[in-house]
Amino acid sequence: MKVEIREKKLKDNKVSLYLDIYNDGERTYQFLKLYLFKSPKNKEERSANSETMRKANAMLVKVENDLINNNDIAQGFKKSNILFLDYFKNVTEQKKKSAGNYGAWDSTYKILLKYYNGKKVKISDLKDNDLVLIKRYILNGYKTKSDVNLSQNAALAYFNKVKACLNQAFDERLINDKIGARAKAIKGEETRRQYLFEEEIELIEKTKCDSQILKNAFLFSIYTGLRWSDINNLTWDQIKFTANSGYSLHFNQQKTKGVEYLPIPNKALTFVGELQNNSERVFKGLKYSAWHNLKIREWMMNAGITRKITFHSARHTYATLLLTKKIDIYVVSNMLGHKNIKTTQVYAKVVDQRKIEAIKIFDEL
């Protein structure tokens, strides 16, 4: 690549400036609409020539930078012979650090494998209509092991992974069109969030769980509101203490990547054992698996709780308890690390439902 300023003589003692551009084997010219005095006669004309050349050089630098960027992009596009499923699998493998998130990516990959059924498609060949067809398959074509369609919210989560994958491919310059961002998302359905009542928390604390570390992590989540991924990655040096504020957590949320400062009650620390002063994981040995989900279910059943309680129900319990105790919703939103108050308002609806259920006791008198 080479860019130079050239001159073209005009009839009226002026010189027109243009750029001689040689790039990727091709030569083009760009006239700048800037003019020099061919033979400057005084200080003003010499000063005008200096200013004109300054502008011309600035334009030359801009063109050079644009060409460099375009060449980089072009080199990126040459890599886009990568197959879509190969790229998706690679992105999925990058999510292994977040166990819960990895599961959703892996499930999406398996759905795409069934959809393409051995067909090889380059990621650069994907068009808007391809995403429409993939979305339609996720919603209506794919069947679970029980031979039923996915729930609306499951379909939403899986299709969002497809969109996110293509957005990443665009950012990495493997495709030149951000079709992932343009694809219309699947609309989610509002679901009933399962949580525990205060008396049920007392029950499960007294009830044995086959995995003590799982029990401790679940109860720690109830008293701190932390997600599975944040608890799984929590290290001892993220637990801080000051005489004025007491104990708090200083950590990066795995989901939002936001830096969080979260005051925690002393009760939460009863589930971590003796505090350490190192960078090792607090809940060492904690894993995400179907076995652990089963153990939570059995633990709840032994405590007499028949509702479907998952690990994330601990975070729901934390949020619901705070709102039930009339803590301001904006404070609760901040404590949960929500970026949008609308996310927290879902819990407010849960509290309203509890009021409706509470008033029914008068019908039973």
Q: What's the order of all strands across the beta sheet hosting 246-252?
A: 239-242, 246-252, 259-263
To the nearest 10 degrees (0 to 180), the angle between helices 99-116 and 152-171 is: 90
Residue 286 has pLDDT above 60, yes or no: yes
Per DSSP, which regions of 170-212 are E strands?
none
pLDDT digits (tens, 9 = 90+) for 110-130: 999 999 999 999 998 999 999
Strand-pairing partners, residue 16, are 8, 35
Q: Which amino acid is at 163?
A: K
Q: Strand 246-252 relative to strand 259-263: parallel, antiparallel, unpaired?
A: antiparallel
Token duo for residue 347: 């819990």
Residue 19 near residue 30 (C-beta atoms within 8 A): yes
Which amino acid is located at 270 in the chain? T
Average pLDDT over residues 76-93: 82
| pLDDT, tens digit, 9 for 90 and up, residues 217-253 | 999 999 999 988 889 889 999 999 888 889 999 877 6
Token representation of residue 45: 């004309």
CA 97, 103, 105, 106 dihedral sign is: positive
Q: Are 163 and 185 in contact (CB under 8 A)?
A: yes
pLDDT of residue 298 exceeding 90 = yes
Q: Contact 76/174 with Cβ under 8 angstroms? A: yes
